Structure 1
Amino acid sequence: MAEIRYEAAAGVATLVLDQPDRLNAMTFEMWQALPALVARAEADTTVRVIAVTGAGERAFCAGADISQFGDRREGRDAIAAYDAAYARGCAALVESSKPSVAVIGGICFGGGLGLAMSCDLRIARADSRFRIPAARLGLGYAYEGVRLLVTKLGPSVTADLLLSARIVAGEEALSLGIVSALWEAERFGTESAAYLARIAGNAPLTLKAVKRALAELARPEKDRDVAGVRATVEACFESADYREGRLAFGEKREPAFRGE
């Protein structure tokens, strides 16, 4: 059964796209389930970072489950319902107060790449491949999705991905800014876990302030709450964690942040 599994340990909530026999393609029901899982991580005070990954070794996510297209992406109402579920799932990650990292091993295509781009960061195994094949399927790519890509990658890279529908290999994805770190397969598990642990060990209120700024910048300029961002920054300077960070620096030890 296709699902998104929720796992939490050591400050990291991991959402596992679990349909490996179909390269973790996202069903309509999986898109629907995503906001509640992000909300679960949001509500858990022990969670510092959200990771999104795919089950198995072959794929992060091959995109939308094409076996549902006849029912879910044909006809105006069905298409609108599907697009709304997709948009809500991606928005949940963008708008979460906790940083999110797509941990990509293998194929990352279509809606899977859209999901990965909704995360704040993307790290990948070196043999991963990236593609948005909408132009090969005759699909329309929603305005919001194009805007997100332009915000993250710029107009030229976005145009290349969407208009050529070509496959981008790992090293090129790193150079284009699609991913921010890349490791060979034998190091990927260890290095990706260390990357997540490093974020989880940082000051939660600082992470929240950065995340709030990123979320507001992803909105159209007229809708941005800059005052809200400034308030989260001020909260950092008023926190016990700020005092702890200064003490730890002076004492040359690791800080013990509590998010308060």
Structure 2
Amino acid sequence: MLLKRLSVRLEAFQLPLTKALSKAGSLGLGGVEFDAAGELSPEELSQTGRRHLRHAIRSQELNFTGIGFLSRHGFEEIDRLERRVSQAVKVLALAAELGAPVVVGQLGTIPTDDDSPAALAFHDAVTRLAREAERLGTRYAASIGPNQPSELADLFAKTGGFGLAVAYDPALLLVRGEDAYGGVRTLHDHLASIRLKDAVRSGIAVSGYREVPLGEGEVDWESFLGALEEVNYQGSLTLAPDQQGGGPDAVAASAAFVQRLI
């Protein structure tokens, strides 16, 4: 059932961890994703804490669908690059231990000058990350970010292997004026997480767009889900609103919207 593939970022509930897990379970969702930050960071989450977290997830009949890796900068930034790569590897190891299939994080802007120091450092970093993810049996699912699907596809072809993938955000592509549905076909071999968000273009917002509830934005969800079916996507679909767009009622409404589509 598609509903059992529906997941949610726990942070979207804007509730303490235990209450957020309970809410996710009560909505009948299949899984949860959380950010590896604060008490849930690899450094803070002890072995006892990890056992308790696994038990709490199982008690709600949920699965881990992903872990978020938060970083202010991408891998094109040379400053403190090794520190970012090291931290990303720690989150990949945490994901492998907890049974989460993907780590969702940014890559940054893919450098276009292949011979520049930044480009060489970037490609070395992401190749190492891809190999480590593959060794651990996980995937690093890169957010679309500023890159086009074709640019990501080219990068994945260069790095090779299974470890590097994409967390696909159709809303972001559409508000940038790109083909979010065709992008599914371009990246079909590399889709590891689908981010369920909706948005509209806005000249008022600094970003050029603003997030809105599912079904009220520019994404044609029937067409998008049809594109996923066309490429036989079998991964999770994750409700991933921005912090300001969440809350229990908003998550419940988004889950109900998706359920009406299936």
Q: TM-score, normalised by structure 2?
A: 0.34
**Structure number with higher relative contact order (C-alpha < 8 Å, ≥ 6 residues apart):** 2
Q: Which has the larger radius of gyration?
A: 1
Q: Which has the higher helix share?
A: 1
